[in-house]
Structure 1
């Protein structure tokens, strides 16, 4: 009887050891020993940014983005991947500080040509932003903190929404090239760096969603219209496997407009109201 107990105990111990070893092997297969970098993809973004004054302190932040991503059939520019509609009401605290609060509807398109899943899924976000500007000689320096609460889902039919938070910090400079200040008919260069972190139950080993490094060349046409274009390199961890990093090169084209629909007397400085 004791003999069979010893044999049973030995089998149990070996079974547990083999199970643990198998789990370790699976974990090693899932998480690479060294970080792996996917080949960079190419993208093209066409963006519009509107700052529409609706009051002395309030403005409507209206942004629309069209984002394209390369596929095997259509390299470089590729096909439409996302369409952004980002809107908010902003508050101007002073000339150097403003805040925004609003929502986002992002429409995601399936760029996997071999996929049999859905072609389009919506993504929802609530976002708030805090921007601070500071002059430096003839240039302007901007610090932007943006926090997003997002609900995303995959393209599979039975895919459920997952919730994540995004924590974004951006540093940007605007440096005039043919003038001593940023004014109409001025060409400027704008280096930019943004770090995007994420958190949530679905984020296990991939807190760094994206690191974006951009250089943009812009031209101020009028006080209310600016155009710009630039190149961005980005890399970030894959949500499903934190040991895999995605990379991309993105051509970005921007239009900034700031119409003012207030009555003429409300556009004038206060000193003119008492003259």
Structure 2
């Protein structure tokens, strides 16, 4: 037990190193992609933001769960302007202890970055999107450390901010590798402080996607706390390198994230187990 705890700092350092190398390699790939074309020289647009999120997972059957995400995101000097309201709904089915599938709908609302448009252009200050989404979640155990592999696909009907712009269908695939490492207890249970980190890559396709097939890469490092089996808290820093439509201009985003995770069990066959392990909401 003590030997395992002594390995925690090494495990965290390894995770940080792998995440940083992944993010750096992705940035180098996008740069080489731009350099291999006749596009203008790359431009980096530095941004900052604050993302607040609530994640819910409610057990409604023996292997069936309601899944929900509710986000408010602000941008520019962290909180100066509104960015998005993001609502994700789905149903999850637990195939076994290591595999879960989820599907549902998403209804995000976007606030227009008005500085990108001229005063002569008529824009809608808030637009929405329509999406379907599917997800496969694989769980890998390495001693007391849990690693989650998340593959998510989305079909998105989105439009420009210009008044009268039509909706166009695009497709997006996301792969995220996440790790949770309990720091003060052997597993995620009541009153557990834990380290969390992930790296997620976004790839998109469609008729309107020409230069930015690699849409985004997000690196997150943070700390979390399990209050009890119903509530968990998490806070941390996220670096996002986002490739824009023209391909040569990139958003370099620094984002602070605060999240609340809420679990409930609505089934009647609940069984209380002392100090049982709590699964993260993913």
Greater Cα radius of gyration, structure 1 or 2: 1
The one of 222, 236, 257 aligned to 2:262: 257
Aligned to 2:271: 268
Aligned to 1:182: 188
CA distance in structure 1 between the aligned counterparts of 2:43 and 2:102, rounded to whole angstroms: 35
Structure 1 unaligned segments of length 5 or more: list them. 1-26, 270-275
CA RMSD of aligned residues (A): 1.6
Aligned to 2:95: 93
Aligned to 1:170: 176
CA displacement at 1:113 relative to structure 2 = 5.3
1:144 aligns with 2:144: no
1:199 aligns with 2:197: no
Q: Is the 8 A contact 1:51 1:257 kept in 2?
A: yes
Listed one character per residue, the Cα deviations across residues 173-232 of structure 1 (whole Å, up to 9, x for unaligned) are 001111121111111111110000000111112110000011021001101210000100
Q: Is the 8 A contact 2:78 2:255 kept in 1?
A: no
Question: Alignment partner of 1:242: what SS?
Answer: coil
1:161 aligns with 2:147: no
Q: What is the TM-score normalised by the length of structure 1? A: 0.81
Runs of 4+ in 1 over 6 A off after TM superposition: none
Aligned to 1:110: 112
Matches within 5 A, 1:1-275: 28=38, 31-32=39-40, 34=41, 36-70=42-76, 75-112=77-114, 115=117, 116-239=122-245, 241-263=246-268, 266-268=269-271
Structure 2 unaligned segments of length 5 or more: list them. 1-36, 273-282
